[in-house]
Structure 1
Amino acid sequence: MNSLKTLTLLGSTGSIGRQTLDVVRHAEGCLKIHALGAGKNVRLMEEQARLFRPAVAVMMDETAARELRERLKDLPIKVDQGMEGIINSVTAEEVDTVVTALSGRVGLEPTLEAIKAGKTIALANKETLVAGGDLVMSSAQAMNCKILPVDSEHSAIFQCLEENPETIERIILTASGGPFFGWSKERLESVTLENALRHPNWEMGAKITIDSSTMMNKGLEVIEAHHLFNVAYDGIEVLIHPQSVVHSMVEYYDGSVLAQLGRPDMRLPIQYALSYPTRWKNPFERLDLRGKTLTFHEPDFEAFPALALAYQAGRRGGTLPAAMNAANEVAVSAFLQRKVSYLGIIDIVGEVCAEHKVLDSMDLDSILDADSWARHRAEELILT
């Protein structure tokens, strides 16, 4: 194993955060937590802080930070709050690697600050690249910072890349199809919140589970892949693979296709991002292909228009992907609160994208302005 790496983990109480801590626990002293950051789950943050003893624990929510401070007063752990606390945790001198597993666009600013501070980024927050991909990747290049993908699909592509990536002909992103694979648009009209939260293969947070069911998650991953691997949108294909065994593929100019296979267990891509460039042994369950049948299908763009919308937004570029992402976050939140129907999610996102006046300037202020406008407009549409 490599020498000790010191981490700041943002989004520690979410699904990816919890699985990251499981990787840390099994890494035989090769990973150390400097800081944990989360939204407002005080109970779980206290439990994690007591187990991993970070120097710093940050809550985005001020009330939650106050409660956590009281709960941890018997330990020498600094409790910080808000975006300022998050940014301080990622730029700390002791930190080597920042795991960005916050949900949504909120991950953009701390990722940029971590890059400016020269940290390695283990990226589990696809919205960061969707909203600000050009800015993030140019900043990382300027600082010579590594961005290591944690999403299972992008980790698979990363592992399949050879030393001459210019010979790539196309990237093939696989998608499970979610709980509604094969459903018609008419049948999707009857989808309930409970139906949409039942993913057949992966254990994920509520927002990403809904995104997976609408195929918006795959659309966001298409945009993320474009930025991470510098591949044109025409060179990125999506195939539905219900078994979730082949996590993605890369086809080269000579017709060779390299694929990465594994169990649907997020701890594997998380560990690879943290162990890179080496591989660590672990006790996780191994893939057994005996008796398995692997199938691949074309996506249904008519029943699941979110995927086509994401391709369109990515190709147009500028601030449109940021607006699309923001509208989707608001619409999914409304669906989770039973304020809009399932098909209403993409209706709202599509309307916001159609109305958005795209700016091609990709500075942070332009991205945040587009994000703010799109959230406000989506909220208006929800109320009508």
Structure 2
Amino acid sequence: MIRLAVLGSTGSIGVSALEVVAAHPDRLAVIGLAAGGNVATMQAQVARVRPKAVAMATRAATQDVQAGLPAAVRQGIETWASGREGLVAIATHPDVDVVLCACSGTEALEAVLAAIEAGKRIALANKEVLVMAGALVMAAARARGVDVLPVDSEHNAIHQCLAGHPQAHVRRLVLTASGGPFRSTPVEALASVTAADALSHPTWKMGRKITIDSATMMNKGLEVIEAHWLFDMPADRIDVVIHPQSVVHSMVEFTDGSMLAQLGVTDMKLPIQYAFTYPERWASPVPRLDWRQGLDLRFENADPGRFPCLRLAYDALRQGGAAPVVLNAANEIAVASFLGGHVPFTAIAATVADVLADASGQALDTASLAAIREVDAWARRRATTRLGTVESAGRGIIA
């Protein structure tokens, strides 16, 4: 029996993870659940999977979950917690074997490091953990002999393609991208697209923030940084190609010129189950690709003029140090401002570029988790100030 902690259980990845558990009730068990503020969904999940430990973002939300559960269900829960401390408690529960980190943003960083120290396998569906603290996380995992297995479909595909191949045989990694909803939108029209437009993803059903990141391709830029840490590859050996069908999830090119690609349906349950069960492969509760209907597989270059966030992410990776932390923080603030209707879509990339430029003149330390948190807070303040100027000047300020 593989025993799980699910951080971010009420989000799309967490929900899919519990569907994987339901498909293998005799082989997977949920020990702990943690989420943000979705009380109703958490109550339903707790009643269904009967975990030993539950945490929410706030004490009030935790109390609301408790209050809405039947007494018989409440009695089976040993630990109630909240906040970052709650995430740590769930991730380090002594009965847990695998921790799925599916929280959005940076809240689970301490929990991931604590889980590694406790010897838990990490199934990582959160890009920000490695973008912010890749050096710390991967050094800790190596020191403890802990597997960090990617759940992102692209990195999961690369992990599968690399199986059994030494790094010396690898020429480059190729991450595929859907291109999002604005793959063919005229560049000059991007300043006037709405949040509703950007949230209409053609392939994947995801959370709001990650869907906007897909539209700007910052999502893919963060994945480039993530791939650097997961697979110890420099930026110049990680490529991005647009593949609108999202059937090829990523590829590896080897030194002899041959390439391996991983293909599958667009269903996150497949990489989630892989991360839970590796190195075994179990029957999966997802449909199969139907070759008889034919597969239209097309690939396009990612235009840096259309997707400046992708270029900014490469720049941040090459610069190193605090730059990826700044990139991620400024982007989160800018995306939230766009979703709130305060600034145009094009303000996202412009804000990130400005804050990165400001950071290049600062002495920003990332040697410790506390220092990383300080850099993150500095970048958020700077982005908020910059976006306030844009909003007050009106939507037409950025073309």
Instruction: Give the alignment's TM-score, normalised by structure 2.
Output: 0.93
Larger CA deviation: 59-68 vs 315-324:
59-68
1:308 paired with 2:311, answer: yes
1:383 corresponds to which of 382, 388, 399: 388
Residue 393 of structure 2 corresponds to which residue in structure 1? none
Contact 2:20 2:285 in 1 (8 A): no
Q: What corresponds to 1:188 in structure 2? A: 190
Rounded Cα–Cα distance in structure 2 between residues aligned with 1:333 and 1:79: 30
User: 2:330 and 2:21 mapped to 1: Cα distance?
Assistant: 34
Of 352, 372, 379 in structure 2, the residue corresponding to residue 367 of structure 1 is: 372
Match of 1:63 in 2: 60
Offset at 1:34? 0.6
Alpha-carbon shift at residue 377 of structure 1 (Å):
1.1
Asked whether the 8 Å contact 1:320–1:358 carries over to 2, the reply is no
For 1:171 and 1:212, how far apart are their aligned partners in 2?
Answer: 19
**Matched ranges for 1:24-63 at <5 A:** 24-63=21-60
SS of 2:285's partner is: coil
1:291 Cα deviation (Å)? Answer: 2.4
Shift of 1:79: 2.5
Is the Cα contact below 8 Å between 1:313 and 1:320 reproduced in 2? yes
8 Å Cα contact 1:38-1:60 kept in structure 2: yes
Tell me the alpha carbon deviations over residues 94-137 of structure 1, each in whole angstroms, 9 at most, x when there is no partner: 11110000001212111111111111000000110000001110
Question: Match of 2:336, as an amino acid?
Answer: S
What is the one-letter code of the residue matched to 1:14? G
Offset, 1:358: 5.3
1:166 counterpart = 2:172: no
Q: Number of matched residues?
A: 381
* Distance across 2 between alignment mates of 1:47 and 1:324: 36
**Structure 1 unpaired stretches of 5+:** none
Structure-1 residue corresponding to 2:259: 257
CA offsets, 1:64-86, max 9 Å, x none? 11211211361222321111111
- Verify the 8 A CA contact 1:175 1:218 in the aligned structure 2: yes
Q: Which amino acid aligns with 1:340?
A: V
Superposition misfits of 4+ residues, deviation over 4 angstroms: none
Name the residue aligned to 1:295: 298
Deviation of 1:376 after TM superposition, in Å, equals 1.1
1:317 to 317, 320, 333: 320
Cα-to-partner distance string for 1:314-352 (whole Å, 9 max, x where unaligned): 111111101110111111111111122111111111111
Please state whether the residue corresponding to 1:133 is helix, strand or coil: helix
TM-superposed deviation, 1:165 = 2.3
Aligned to 2:4: 7
Q: Does 1:21 align with 2:24?
A: no
Q: Give, in whole Å, the separation in 1 of the partners of 2:126 and 2:363.
A: 23
Rounded to whole Å, the distance in 1 between the matches of 2:169 and 2:85 is 43
Is 369-378 or 213-222 further displaced after alignment?
Answer: 369-378
* Structure-2 separation of matches of 1:174 and 1:52: 35
Deviation at residue 379 of structure 1 after TM alignment: 1.2
Equivalent in the alignment of 1:225: 227
Q: Deviations over 1:143-181 (max 9, x none)?
A: 110000000000000000033122100000000000111
Q: Which amino acid aligns with 2:160?
A: Q
The corresponding residue for 1:329 is 332
Q: Counterpart amino acid of 1:163?
A: H
| Paired letter, 1:135 | L
The secondary structure found in structure 1 opposite 2:189 is helix
Moved more, 207-216 or 283-292: 283-292
- Equivalents in 2 of 1:29, 1:380: separation in Å? 53
Distance 2:31 2:188 in 1: 50
Measure how far apart 1:188 and its partner are: 0.9
Q: CA deviation at 1:41?
A: 0.4
**Identity level (%):** 50
- The C-alpha deviation readout for 1:250-304, integer Å capped at 9, x for no partner, is 0000011000000111110001101110111023211123322111011010111
Correspondence for 2:355 among 352, 357, 372: 352
Q: Which moved more, 1:345-354 or 1:116-125?
A: 345-354
